[in-house]
Chain A
Amino acid sequence: MYNSYPLIIILVLFISAFAIPLFKSIKMARIIGISAAGISLVLSILTLIGVKANGAYYFRVGHFDAPWGIEFHIGIIEGLMGVLFMTVSMAVLWFSIYSIDHDLSKKKVPLFYTLVNLLVGSLLGIVFSDDLFNCFVFIEISSIASCGIVVVKDKKENIKAALKYLILSSLGSGLVLMGIALVYSLTGHLNMAHIHEALVSIYPEHSRNMLIAIGLFTVGLGVKSAMFPLHTWLPDAHTYAPASSSALLSALVLKAYVILYIKIIHRVFGMSIVGDLPVLNIVLLLGAVGMIAGSVLAILQKNLKRMVAYSSVAQMGYVFFGIGLGTTMGLAAAIFQIFNHAFTKSALFLSAGSILEKTGKKNISDLKGIGKEMPFTMAIFTIGGMSLVGIPLLSGFNSKWNFAVAVIEAHRVELLAVVLISSLLNALYYFPVIINGYFGEESLEGKVYRNTERPLKELLPIIVLVLGVIYFGVSGGGLLSLIEAGIPALN
């Protein structure tokens, strides 16, 4: 029964997105947007349960067979991503009830919900689809929608950031399109499984072309998922967007493109071809450099949200690092990191956004003593920060441990240094914020306890995300083995 759920999820999200503008009230927009997301969350969980029990399957959209019709491929990884995307977007939508009015003018609020549902629907489309051109269509929708949720806050810097994002993102889409065209001209197919068959048979005489095609995909999707040094759009977009949008952009938007990249490497080309080419080594190198450089750049930031945004560059570096290792364990670690980062970073962005919203202070130096004024919000930020630093029993530690194990399994012990240095660097920028927030005589003087704190009710969605961080920290083994079980179906 669950076979058609992925399609229903996307349809529900899209239809609700276009239904929202029909009603002109904010309340209706919220009801429609959130109930659509809720339905999708339930369906995605059911899909995951089904896939877990019965294995991966293809779903023919419109009952046409593959070369003509469009197929979805749903395995455990896709199912997990569905649940992850819907959980995070539910939490963010829930949070937005209390927060989005402060950032947007009244007229724009329904538009925000339209854009979010469009965005999440298209991202899930990218994840589920087994057809390259179909993926491209969803990429375009998601690009527009993600620029939309940045620019929906009508400020000068938002328009600037969104333009920068739009230009670079379109460049990325263009490169992906060229890659698809090249692959199509080589094989005559758009369906991933069919392309793979054709590519394997023509590989020896067309290895150059394939290198170019993979290069196009790497750079194109690299721009969109902020692979260092193609991340330049990210800090602006994530900093100036409303808190809810920043959380979605960092937690989900970056991830969908990575999943597509993994599918292109493993499903479309396959390790037999990619292993021959130098691409993965370059991805590994860029990932490693990103892990260090992203953190170094974050240390230099004065603006809190910008610092958190640069930290995303470092965290995405881990994902590419894992992909670049080219082993099953590396890939599993990368996918686990996607989970870790999605939960942690959305919690961080929402708490940082709350601080900004309640105090109006952007700069880290102004936030001394904030732990007294907003103790719970800051506690959430602290747990998120500590997770990324790699304190045990939080998901970030598990993620780092997975990378360490993967590195040793791949016989590249020297890369352990990168993993560990990067986590130390994380401490250098998260701890000062936390320490100055909670401690220090001078900073706490004159601050009133819980002066600007949000009501606990409004913090619940972020607490849900933090509970996810703790859950994956305490019992991350289950998730990891689930991911490992799902990886064979990717090929």
Chain B
Amino acid sequence: MNFLALVPIAFPMALAVGMHFVEFKNESYKRAYLLGGVFLNFIFAMMVIFVANPEMHIFKINDFMEIYFKVDGMSKLFITMTSILWIFTTAYSFDYMHHEGKEQKFFTYFLVTYGVIVGISLAGNIFTFYIFYEFLTLSTFPLVIHTGTKEALASGKKYLIYSFSGATLVLLGMILLFSVTGTLDFVPGGILEGVAINNRVTAAYVILFLGFSVKAAMVPFHSWLPAAMVAPTPVSSLLHAVAVVKSGIFALIRITFYLFGAEAVNAMHVRGYLSILVALTILMGSFVALHQENLKKRLAYSTISQLGYIMLGILLLNEDGLTGALLHLINHAVIKITLFFCVGIIMLRTGYKTIGEIRGIGKKMPITMGCFSIASISLIGIPPTNGFVSKWFLAMGGLQENRAIFVVILLVSAILTAAYLMPIVITAFFPGEMGKELENSEPPLMMLIPVVVLTGITVAFGLFPNFILHFIQGISRSLIG
């Protein structure tokens, strides 16, 4: 037996234990420990998925409860994305959390969550996935309520209630599915071979979809996400634009293409109803974002809308749609984390939280706001940034299904995206009157470098999408076809 896959899961947790108990002599030791540890784990993860490529059965409680890890294309994609973003977030968090306080607690749970996310990516069956999915809720909860204020606790409670209700639905769906198939392993193309599509299978799919879509912030289960914006910015950016919501999306891809299979889902005739919810998610997220004065809340609603794109791509069930969905999974993660980092810098350096206050800030922080602008343009989907590429594929997928309505929705939403992001850029750079005198300008380098590098990645993905595109097309071809 080969226990390699456990290394990138257990190592961050061991780091977390160290973080909890060790008193660091000075700040730079702690930074070296954290950054070094996270980077080391990135290397471990890369070695596990690209070199060792293990498939291992850890232990079996009984037929259905089996802890089982496997590496496939999807887990490579997800693990690479989260690991790289984790390194950036770690670097960014040092100064931010120094200001916010209770760093030790923050980094402890931050590292635990890293291990949990790797577990989610490597899970080889839905039971293992479910275990880490539950742990994800538990390990991110302390991060959400980090500030410990009444408001934070209320949001945390909301987060828990939504997450556990979703997880309960997932459990129900798992049980129903297991009663039909007798296995819960992730297999490309699904495990339903030779199983008639009856009401129970359909119910299992719908229940699983709804259950996981809670974390993916689908309307009407989305309201925990804006509420969770009370968390410190590194938490919002990493957990609520990347790790938590994306593991919801990741789960939807797993169940749709690895448990049920595109053909079976197509045969169920429930896609129509689910896509109504998804279309609603896209449009409602955008419309509500328009009205948000608070910058972080505006970004949160934007996330909801963008996640809708990805879910739409999944539900199209064709190759281009899935390619678009996977591309957007990556692109949105990179873009949204950049946007959040920029907003976090503004909040840290000036204390401003709303769009009205940031008038003229671009003059003082040209690099930060420049990166914000590029990321905004990318999210709207203007070439040559990466957002354009993923939306192109999503639109192609929609046309293949002869559903022009989806293309219309995408376009309307793109306009709305411009409508809620561009005002921020415009107020920052083109003040009607001169802005207030700001004392602080650009943040320390440790915060600025991640933002700049991530913006570079955004542009690079837009100019040279082929490398990642081929990889993703390989995955979608293996799942549909």
Q: Does B238 contact A (CB under 8 A)?
A: no
A477→B62 contact, CB < 8 A: yes
Q: Does A144 contact B (CB under 8 A)?
A: no
A477→B156 contact, CB < 8 A: no
A420→B59 contact, CB < 8 A: no
Residues of chain B with a CB closer than 8 A to A416's CB: 172, 175-176
Residue of B nearest to A401 (CB): B65
With A404-B175, A405-B175, A408-B175 known as contacts, the answer to whether A392 contacts B131 (CB < 8 A) is yes
**Smallest CB separation, A403 vs chain B (Å):** 10
Instruction: Kindly state the separation between the CA atoms of A390 and B65 in the bound complex, as whole angstroms.
Output: 14
With A408-B179, A475-B59, A475-B61 known as contacts, the answer to whether A420 contacts B168 (CB < 8 A) is yes
Instruction: Kindly state the separation between the CA atoms of A435 and B158 in the bound complex, as whole angstroms.
Output: 13
Residues of chain B with a CB closer than 8 A to A442's CB: 148, 150
Contacts beyond the supplied A435-B145, A439-B148: 7 A-B pairs with Cβ under 8 Å: A401-B64, A408-B175, A431-B160, A432-B157, A435-B157, A439-B156, A477-B65
B65→A441 contact, CB < 8 A: no
Q: Does B198 contact A (CB under 8 A)?
A: no
Q: Which of B1-22 contact A (CB under 8 A)?
A: none
**Smallest CB separation, B218 vs chain A (Å):** 20
Contact among A391, A392, A413, A474 for B59, CB-based, below 8 A: A474
Residue of A nearest to B149 (CB): A441
Instruction: Kindly state the separation between the CA atoms of A435 and B159 in the bound complex, as whole angstroms.
Output: 13
Contact among A420, A441, A476, A477 for B148, CB-based, below 8 A: A441
Contact among A420, A435, A475 for B171, CB-based, below 8 A: A420
Q: Does B293 contact A (CB under 8 A)?
A: no
Residue of A nearest to B148 (CB): A441
- Chosen A-B contacts, 16 in total, with CB atoms closer than 8 Å, are A391-B134, A391-B138, A401-B175, A408-B176, A420-B172, A423-B168, A427-B160, A427-B164, A435-B157, A439-B142, A439-B148, A439-B153, A440-B148, A444-B148, A477-B60, A477-B62
How many residues on chain B are close to A (CB under 8 Å)?
Answer: 32
Contact among B61, B171, B176 for A476, CB-based, below 8 A: B61
**Smallest CB separation, A477 vs chain B (Å):** 4
- Of the four ranges (under 10, 10 to 19, 20 to 34, 35 or more), the interface on chain A belongs to 20 to 34
Instruction: Kindly state the separation between the CA atoms of A113 and B435 in the bound complex, as whole angstroms.
Output: 79
Instruction: Kindly state the separation between the CA atoms of A393 and B153 in the bound complex, as whole angstroms.
Output: 27
Residues of chain A with a CB closer than 8 A to B61's CB: 398, 474-477
Q: Does B130 contact A (CB under 8 A)?
A: yes
Instruction: Kindly state the separation between the CA atoms of A405 and B60 in the bound complex, as whole angstroms.
Output: 17
Q: Does B200 contact A (CB under 8 A)?
A: yes
Q: Does B473 contact A (CB under 8 A)?
A: no
Instruction: Kindly state the separation between the CA atoms of A440 and B138 in the bound complex, as whole angstroms.
Output: 16
Residues 365-398 of B, flagged 1 when their CB comes within 8 A of A and 0 if not, give 0000000000000000000000000000000000
A393→B131 contact, CB < 8 A: yes
Q: Does B183 contact A (CB under 8 A)?
A: no
Q: Which of A412-471 contact B (CB under 8 A)?
A: 413, 416-417, 420, 423-424, 427, 431-432, 435, 438-442, 444
With A442-B148, A477-B60 known as contacts, the answer to whether A413 contacts B153 (CB < 8 A) is no
Instruction: Kindly state the separation between the CA atoms of A404 and B178 in the bound complex, as whole angstroms.
Output: 11
Instruction: Kindly state the separation between the CA atoms of A481 and B62 in the bound complex, as whole angstroms.
Output: 9
Residues of chain B with a CB closer than 8 A to A440's CB: 145, 148, 153
Question: When A and B form their complex, which 3 residue pairs have the shortest distance between CB atoms, in order from nearest?
Answer: A441-B148, A477-B62, A392-B131
Residues of chain A with a CB closer than 8 A to B160's CB: 427, 431, 435
**Smallest CB separation, A3 vs chain B (Å):** 32
Q: Does B294 contact A (CB under 8 A)?
A: no
Residues of chain B with a CB closer than 8 A to A423's CB: 168
A424→B134 contact, CB < 8 A: no
Residues of chain A with a CB closer than 8 A to B200's CB: 413
**Smallest CB separation, A262 vs chain B (Å):** 22
**Smallest CB separation, A259 vs chain B (Å):** 24
Q: Does A480 contact B (CB under 8 A)?
A: yes
**Smallest CB separation, A159 vs chain B (Å):** 40
Residues 119-149 of A, flagged 1 when their CB comes within 8 A of B and 0 if not, give 0000000000000000000000000000000
Q: Which of B164-213 contact A (CB under 8 A)?
A: 164-165, 168, 171-172, 175-176, 178-179, 200
Residues of chain B with a CB closer than 8 A to A441's CB: 147-149
**Smallest CB separation, A433 vs chain B (Å):** 13
Residue of B nearest to A432 (CB): B157
Residues of chain B with a CB closer than 8 A to A481's CB: 62
Residue of B nearest to A438 (CB): B142
**Smallest CB separation, A236 vs chain B (Å):** 31
Instruction: Kindly state the separation between the CA atoms of A195 and B291 in the bound complex, as whole angstroms.
Output: 77
Residues of chain B with a CB closer than 8 A to A438's CB: 142
A424→B164 contact, CB < 8 A: yes
Instruction: Kindly state the separation between the CA atoms of A404 and B65 in the bound complex, as whole angstroms.
Output: 13
Residue of B61, B62, B148, B153 ringed by the most chain A CB atoms within 10 A: B61
**Smallest CB separation, B128 vs chain A (Å):** 9
Residues 7-32 of A, flagged 1 when their CB comes within 8 A of B and 0 if not, give 00000000000000000000000000
